[in-house]
Structure 1
Amino acid sequence: MLSASYPISGIADIISLSPNPNKVAPAVSGQLFENQQPVPGATVVRTIITNRTIVEIVKTDKNGYFKFTPFHYDFPIQTKSSDTIRSMINITAEYGKNSKAIWSSEHAGSHYLPFMPPAMKDLSCDMNESVNLYEFSSGYQQILPTRVTSVCQLSRE
């Protein structure tokens, strides 16, 4: 009788190729403005808080544009109940002596919600704007709406 054994890492590699990973943060792109002028060279920091804290830092280009790639885990985020906050996403911009939160949200589901990819794909962030509160609800795995505070104009496709 023939038998074969497969290393655990091989199984992990197969799992990591899953088309449905636990999507924690979608791709983000946008442009920073101040006094209707692009803000070049600003430091933009995305902090993702789950069972770990992930910090990503990018700089705006000469036209004030920035971009983050999507982030996901290949395993579920464990919490006590489906109503427990599983992740938080905070994005701040730092330039000169100024620092401002441009996005903040908390999520109870195991995946980011359907509104997030269109809302975060083309942010237009005026650093002189006051913070606005947006509420989104997908109706899926969610009783209460997700609240997002942002200085950016959010697309609602």
Structure 2
Amino acid sequence: MTSVGRFLVLSVVGLFLVSSEVSAGMFGFGKKTEVHLSPEVKGSITRNGEPVPGAEVYRTLDYDKEYFEQTFTDKEGRFGFPETNVRSGLPSKLMDETRVRQVIGAVVDGKKYLLWYHTPGGINERTAVTRRLRNLHCDLTTPEKELLFRNLEKPDFPHAAFSICRWNDGLEMDELED
């Protein structure tokens, strides 16, 4: 290849790289965005209304990868997890439909219980989800149900969660029958 040919090839490659960076900056491709995985979680575990101390409680959050943490209930059966946000390039990808998935479970006497399973729409905090996760009251004798509750940001699209927990906070919630 002649030096003129190499110059032309390198010029085209250089122009492509510069234009790619400009379009990435202009259109947000490759940009990292804050993704809300979960609000702060505060809850309690009881059995027939009595606190369950020492229960293993775990939280798995999925988005661009799996985020796992665990804790144990205190002597009053209470537990908690911090708010979790991550920065990710996925929201800037064209046609990306990756969803956040929240799972909170407990292991008591070798048996697993589903305290919370939800896939919120979008990557931003949802008020009704935050209210629920800051006030989880989970009795191990309560049957797991799919529960619908108001989506305060998008009223036409209610939230659905699977849980043994129940709330008495004035927000509309419907239990779905099997």
> Fold match, TM over 0.5?
yes
Percent of matched pairs sharing the same residue: 22
Q: How does 1:47-126 map to 2 (within 5 A)?
A: 47-75=60-88, 77-78=90-91, 81=95, 84-126=97-139
Hey, what's the Cα distance between the residues in 2 that align with 1:114 and 1:74? 21
Counterpart of 2:125 in 1: which secondary structure?
A: coil
Partner residue of 2:163 out of 114, 139, 150: 150
Quick check: which one's helix share is greater?
2
Contact 2:59 2:102 in 1 (8 A): yes
User: Which structure 1 residue ranges, 5 or more long, are not aligned?
Assistant: 1-19
Against the structure 1 CA distance between its residues 80 and 143, is the aligned structure 2 distance closer, same or farther, given a 3 Å change threshold? farther
TM-score with structure 1 setting the length: 0.76
Per-residue deviation, 1:30 = 0.7
Aligned to 1:33: 46
TM-score with structure 2 setting the length: 0.68
Hey, what's the Cα distance between the residues in 2 that align with 1:114 and 1:80? 27
Per-residue deviation, 1:97 = 1.9
Counterpart of 1:74 in 2: which secondary structure?
A: strand
Against the structure 1 CA distance between its residues 63 and 26, is the aligned structure 2 distance closer, same or farther, given a 3 Å change threshold? same
2:148 is aligned with 1:137: no
Against the structure 1 CA distance between its residues 80 and 62, is the aligned structure 2 distance closer, same or farther, given a 3 Å change threshold? farther
Against the structure 1 CA distance between its residues 127 and 80, is the aligned structure 2 distance closer, same or farther, given a 3 Å change threshold? farther
Hey, what's the Cα distance between the residues in 1 that align with 2:109 and 2:94? 42
Hey, what's the Cα distance between the residues in 1 that align with 2:98 and 2:64? 11
User: Taking CA–CA contacts closer than 8 Å with sequence separation of 6 or more, which of the two structures ends up with the larger relative contact order?
Assistant: 1
Counterpart of 1:30 in 2: which secondary structure?
A: strand
Per-residue deviation, 1:110 = 1.3
Would you identify which runs of 4 or more consecutive aligned residues in structure 1 move more than 6 Å? none
Hey, what's the Cα distance between the residues in 1 that align with 2:109 and 2:129? 29
Aligned to 1:24: 37
Contact 1:118 1:156 in 2 (8 A): no
Counterpart of 1:46 in 2: which secondary structure?
A: strand
Per-residue deviation, 1:138 = 3.2
Please, what is the CA RMSD of the aligned residues? Answer: 2.3
User: Computing the radius of gyration over CA atoms, which structure comes out larger, 1 or 2?
Assistant: 2
User: Which structure 2 residue ranges, 5 or more long, are not aligned?
Assistant: 1-32, 172-178
Hey, what's the Cα distance between the residues in 1 that align with 2:140 and 2:90? 33
